[in-house]
Structures are given as C-alpha cells and as structure tokens.
Amino acid sequence: MKEPPADLVTAELVQTLQVYWRLEVIQLDYLAVGFGAHHWQATTPTGARYFLALHELGHAGGDVDSRTTAQAHLQQALGAARWLETSAELDFVVGPVPDVWSTCCRPVADRFAVSVYPWLDCAPIRHPDDPRTADVLARLHAVAPRLPPGLGRTEDFRIPHRTQLEDALMDLGQTWHTGPYAERARDFLSAHRYAVPISMTQKRLRHAVPAPAGSSRMANRSGRTSCNALTAVSNWSIGTRC
C-alpha cells in the first residue's frame, strides 16, 4: 500500500478517531508498509502515538450488504485478536485498542473501517524459519479450545465468487471489456480452461474429509476453524522490543 486511497477524506478519518476513541490527532503520517490495509501513525497533543489500520470493505460503488458482512467479519477477527492478547495472555499478539464502547473497529465513510493499535518500537524477526516462529504457532494453537463462541469462524472452504468464475469459463470466446486487465485475465483463463475446473473440484474433495484427531489444524467445538483470521489481523511483536 504505497499511498492512501484516492477517495478517502482524511478529515473523516480524524473525526472517527475523535468520536469513537476520544483521540485528538494533531499529526497524521501515512506509512507505506504492510499489505491488505492502509496504515498511518497518529500523534496526539501529549505525544502519544498510535498505529492505524484502515481496511477496505469493498470497492467504490459496491453493494451495502457485502460491506456490512465484511465489517462484521473484521470485527470478529479483531475481537479474537484482542481476546488472545488480554484473556489468553499471549504476549506476542498486539490486539487493537477498543473504542469507548469496547468496539475494535469503526466505519469511515462508506467503504472503510479503521482499527487502532498502540505504537510499538520493535525489531522484526529477519528469518521466517526462526525457532521462535514455531513457538508462537504452538502457543496459538494451544489456546484455540478456549476461544469463546462467536470469535472464531468455521472454515467452509468455499471458493469465493465461484459462480462468476464458472460463468467466465463459459464466456472465453468473447472479448472482455470490463476493465484494463479483462483481456489479460481472459487469456490466462483460456490457457488454463481445463485445469481450473479440475483444481476447484480437487479443493472441494480434499477438504470434504474431516481432520483426523490430533491434527495440527486449529479446531474448536464448532468444527474446523482457520487461524488465518487471527494471525492476519494481529500485529506480531515477536521481534525484540526497543
């Protein structure tokens, strides 16, 4: 994320922080870091700093229902991250700072949601195979059975927008005019028109068999639960804090 979204009015972001978190922001610096969300450093008159994550809930002009669902899923994941930090006491998870109504994210404009984190000065782990990574994952899986109902989503392994993909595979003989990458996407699908349906079928069959007892896949009483939502929204502080 090299630059802020073009349709974001910065004043609306600042107002959301003031209304819901009671933060008076005197300086807002965009950070071209991370992926999947836009980030800023927010500074208050006391010198306190916060790390902001602005999540896109959908494309401009998208339908309201999909944005509402996306925000609900985000709130659920952020709530899980907060629980991992506070109740499960996992010191490598930095959960979001709740607002004055104990909510972890709030909408900004019509297609964004912001979450707030404490600012940390830390040194990241340079090597993904660092032994500490395995320790973090083991501790995360160990607390999974204690996760309160409603904080973990059961993974159904459905392929998002599968119907649209199948429709596209039936329409490869026509020129696509739906965007700058439309023809490039059509060329790619044409080259793999037989492999894609096979891959989708294999994915469905591969996950139709329940995980065996003792499997390393994160699970709870509601069934197989992916830990991706938890790890993706948590800021991992497994480096050395400065």
70-111 per-position pLDDT tens digit: 999 999 999 999 999 999 999 999 999 999 999 999 999 889
At 202 the pLDDT is: 63
What is the arithmetic mean of pLDDT over 38-43?
96
Predicted confidence band of residue 131 (pLDDT cuts 50, 70, 90):
confident
Instruction: Tell me how far apart the alpha carbons of residues 140 and 6 are, in angstroms, rounded to a whole number.
Output: 37
Predicted confidence band of residue 152 (pLDDT cuts 50, 70, 90):
confident
Neighbours of 2 (CB within 10 A): 7
E-strand ranges in 76-208 read 93-94, 106-108, 112-118, 122-123
Which pTM does this prediction carry? 0.68
At 165 the pLDDT is: 86
Contact 84, 95 (CB under 8 A): yes
What is the arithmetic mean of pLDDT over 43-53?
97
**Could you tell me which residue, 115 or 7, shows the higher pLDDT?**
115
Examine the pLDDT at 14 and tell me if it is beyond 60. Answer: yes
CA atoms lying within 13 Å on the CB side of residue 11: 0
Closest CA to 95 of 51, 33, 131: 51
What is the arithmetic mean of pLDDT over 60-64?
73
| Amino acid identity at 135 | D
List, in order, residues 6 or more apart from 7 with CB less than 8 Å away: 60, 109, 111
Percent of the chain with pLDDT over 90: 48
At 209 the pLDDT is: 42
At 212 the pLDDT is: 36
pLDDT tens for 172-214 read: 999 999 889 999 999 999 998 888 877 776 655 555 444 333 3
Predicted confidence band of residue 125 (pLDDT cuts 50, 70, 90):
confident
Domains within the chain, CATH numbers bracketed: 10-148+236-241 (3.30.200.20), 162-206 (no CATH)
Predicted confidence band of residue 233 (pLDDT cuts 50, 70, 90):
very low
Examine the pLDDT at 241 and tell me if it is beyond 50. Answer: no
**Could you tell me which residue, 234 or 98, shows the higher pLDDT?**
98
